[in-house]
Amino acid sequence: MRLATDLASRGERVRLWVDDPSALVWMAPKPHPQIEVRTWQQPLNMQNLAPSQILVEAFGCDIDPEFIAAYLGWVRAADKKPVWINLEYLSAETFVDRCHGLPSPVMSGPGKGMTKHFFYPGFTNKTGGLLREPALDERLTHFDRAQWLLAQGLGVGSEFLVSLFCYEPPALDALLDQLANAETPVRLLVTAGRAAQAVQAEIKSKNASKPFWNVLGQLSISYLPLLSQPDFDHLLWACDLNFVRGEDSLVRAIWANKPFVWQIYPQEDEAHAPKLDAFLALLPPNDAWHEFHRVWNGLSHAPLPAIDLPNWQLAASEFGTSQVKQIDLVTQLLGFVAKSH
């Protein structure tokens, strides 16, 4: 939805096909008027479809042959060249630089003879860049941290605020112990869904095995409701340290200019390990920060390093500054389309 919204805010009309639009009710409760949301189902509802000029497939989806046939009919009727873009997953691996923009001939089906082009988001100037909407700096400038926290029912005090958006990290137990023994009181803001379930299960286990683990009450925990995408940004901006997962929240944590810890989506046989290592290689040197990532992702069995907020902040700011210098994804995507017509 962020991609669709960014395109729409720049004057494009967007038709967004999703297999489960229910998540958009809370994720994007006020969608841009230039966005039309359609449910991807079988059989595909092709009624009352206005012609499309550009086709973007994301997350490795297989587009219905009926839609491909209709798309070809539309562009040929308008005497336009088909533009079919395969928007890939975000990765810091070196193959992204080599593969970004490469053609992929379609060898079968109604699209036979067409050419897709790989479009890779990424962290270098040889990739498609990262999603960063033009209005982001203005939003950041005008963000009122105290007002937003109060609107969430959270007091504004001297607590150290930590956001937690995660899967089921192996080192969650160690993190809770570390926060409970911090010198400054900590409030952990836990997002709804898997993060909340993981924390609740871990606390139940800890209370049974060592009931005095938070005896000083240094750690307080607040469970948040489902947040819209703008409010998720606000959460990251309001906190002193952000734990994020997946792709979109990583990018938003980078733009927040706050220390962050990323949990990459875990895969069988630790296939995610080289992906995480490739990302860590891009970050400024900071042994503790890098090792914290590896322990948090279950790729190291060493003790969880101590959080070093000042040094992590310097490193995160340096990395964020380097990424802001890159041309953003939507600007590059529109430029690629313009050259392809």
**Full-model pTM:** 0.95
- Please check whether residue 161 lies inside any domain of the structure: yes
Expressed as residue numbers, the domain containing 103 is 42-130+327-340
Quick one: pLDDT at residue 46?
A: 83
- Please check whether residue 293 lies inside any domain of the structure: yes
The domain spanning residue 301 has which CATH number? 3.40.50
**Pair (173, 295) in one structural domain:** yes
- Please check whether residue 81 lies inside any domain of the structure: yes
What is the distance between the alpha carbons of residues 124 and 201, in angstroms, rounded to a whole number?
Answer: 39
DSSP assignment string, 239-295: -SEEEEETTHHHHHHHHHTS-EEEEPPP-GGGTTHHHHHHHHHHSPP-HHHHHHHHH
The helices-and-strands tally (H runs, E runs) of the chain is: 14, 11
Mean pLDDT of the chain: 94
Pairing assessment for the beta strands 103-105 and 115-119 based on DSSP bridges:
antiparallel
Quick one: pLDDT at residue 267?
A: 84
- pLDDT over threshold 80, residue 60: no
**Pair (331, 319) in one structural domain:** no
- Please check whether residue 143 lies inside any domain of the structure: yes
**Pair (217, 261) in one structural domain:** yes
Quick one: pLDDT at residue 59?
A: 79
**Pair (292, 309) in one structural domain:** yes
- Please check whether residue 11 lies inside any domain of the structure: no
pLDDT-derived band at 326 (thresholds 50, 70, 90) equals very high
Residues 6+ apart with CB under 8 A from 127: 96, 97, 100, 120, 121
**Pair (141, 115) in one structural domain:** no
pLDDT-derived band at 140 (thresholds 50, 70, 90) equals very high
- pLDDT over threshold 90, residue 155: no
**Pair (212, 262) in one structural domain:** yes
**Pair (120, 77) in one structural domain:** yes
- Please check whether residue 185 lies inside any domain of the structure: yes
What are the tokens at 3? 């991609």
**Pair (311, 334) in one structural domain:** no
**Pair (221, 305) in one structural domain:** yes
- Structural domain count, the chain: 2
Residues 6+ apart with CB under 8 A from 45: 38, 39
- pLDDT over threshold 80, residue 20: yes
What is the distance between the alpha carbons of residues 8 and 13, in angstroms, rounded to a whole number?
Answer: 6
Lowest mean pLDDT segment, chosen from 1-15, 87-101, 265-279:
265-279
- Please check whether residue 166 lies inside any domain of the structure: yes
